[in-house]
Amino acid sequence: MYLEKYRLDGRIAVVTGGASGIGLACSQALLEAGARVVVADASEANLRRARAQIRGGDEGRVEFAPLDVTQAAAVDAFARACRERHGKVDILVNCAGIGRQSSGEETDEDEWRLVLDVNLNGTFWCAKAFGAVMLAQGGGAIVNIGSMSGDIVTRPQKNVHYNVSKAGVHHMTRSLAAEWADRNVRVNAVAPGFVETPMSAYALKTDVETTRTWLSNTPSGRVGQPDEVASIVHFLASDASSLMTGAIVAADGGYTLW
Ligand code: NAP
């Protein structure tokens, strides 16, 4: 009975930012759990690579689609197209995101708007469009990828826009969860710590000092791997977490404990 709750056979899942890093791992995890997965990403190059990397896609349960989450009308049309093609959408993983490093006094208008547009606005456009599909069909599960940076200020990098965008994602998660709980649409988030992906490569691959600071501030003494976030996303997308909504699940090796 308990393991059955983790199965996603027959479910339709959409993963934004699904062609790289954490999103790619989420796409793989949901596919392995039995779902049909739509990998949606703005990067054509990442989509091409993901097509070659995903295992089990030969069963025809995975498809790849270009999607820029900042384009509200396109997101809306994409959600409706997914519902028309598959008859429903059960799971949305909002993983598309970008990082930029600049201090508060250096951050210019374009960079501020870009980070907020992708990380916060894009997450909302997707939650709104796919939430509408889920509310109409009588249920669904949305999992947002926030960050520990939505709760605390990480160091030594400076990125006020990123931190604010993720704080917004966390409170959006709680707000939509409260609105939709009695209509069987659950909204939860994962708040990862430092995870080894292309986004964190600027530090992990070249900046020894930043990496040293990250690790010395993390009780586990290591960075996370994408699959360690994906397994929590899988749990939150499945019936195993049926009582959970509005939760922000930390996956940070203990970083936010200190
Ligand atoms: P990643 O490897 O760069 O993957 C993000 C994917 O989203 C990329 O394919 C990216 O394309 C795509 N994307 C960017 N803008 C988009 C848009 N407007 N519409 C649709 N797709 C877009 O990064 P990641 O580390 O896996 O990050 C995934 C999520 O986890 C993000 O929300 C991030 O903030 C969060 N997170 C990451 C860490 C970490 O340490 N890595 C920690 C906490 C939270 P491009 O490659 O062209 O940008």
Domain residue limits, the chain: 3-251
Measured distance CA(229)–CA(17) in Å, rounded: 14
* Residue to mutate (ligand 1; options 197, 217, 228; most atoms within 8 A of CB): 197
List residues with catalytic annotation: 162
Asked whether the beta carbons of 120 and 172 are under 8 A apart, the reply is yes
pLDDT score for 60: 86
Cα 96 to ligand 1 centroid, rounded to whole Å: 5
Residue 190 CA to residue 230 CA, distance in Å, equals 9
What is the distance between the alpha carbons of residues 150 and 161, in angstroms, rounded to a whole number? Answer: 10
Residue-wise pLDDT tens digits, 68-86: 999 999 999 999 999 999 9
Ligand 1, CB cutoff 6 Å, lining residues: 16-17, 19-23, 41-43, 46, 67-70, 95-98, 118, 122, 145, 147, 192, 194-195, 197-200
Atom of ligand 1 nearest to the CA of 68: 19
Distance from Cα 23 to the centre of ligand 1, integer Å: 7
| pTM score | 0.98
**Distance from the alpha carbon of residue 212 to the mean position of ligand 1, in angstroms:** 23
61: exposed, middle or buried (Cβ count in 10 Å: 0-12, 13-18, 19+): middle
CATH superfamily of 3-251: NAD(P)-binding Rossmann-like Domain (3.40.50.720)
Distance set, CA 169 to CA 123, 164, 236 (Å): 7, 9, 16
pLDDT, position 229? 98
Q: Which strand ranges, in their side-by-side order, compose the sheet holding 91-94?
A: 62-66, 36-41, 12-16, 91-94, 140-145, 185-192, 248-251
Q: d(Cα 39, Cα 14) in Å, to the nearest integer?
A: 6
Q: What is d(CA 221, CA 215) in angstroms, rounded to the nearest whole number?
A: 5
Residues 255/219, Cβ–Cβ less than 8 Å: yes
Alpha-carbon dihedral sign for residues 21, 236, 66, 58:
positive
Residue 85 · residue 16 · CB < 8 Å? no
Per-residue pLDDT of the chain (258 residues; tens, 9 = 90+): 899 999 999 999 999 999 999 999 999 999 999 999 999 999 999 999 999 999 987 778 999 999 999 999 999 999 999 999 999 999 999 999 999 999 999 999 999 999 999 999 999 999 999 999 999 999 999 999 999 999 999 999 999 999 999 999 999 999 999 999 999 999 999 999 999 999 999 999 989 999 999 999 999 999 999 999 999 999 999 999 999 999 999 999 999 999
Q: Which helix (H) or strand (E) holds 249?
A: strand 248-251
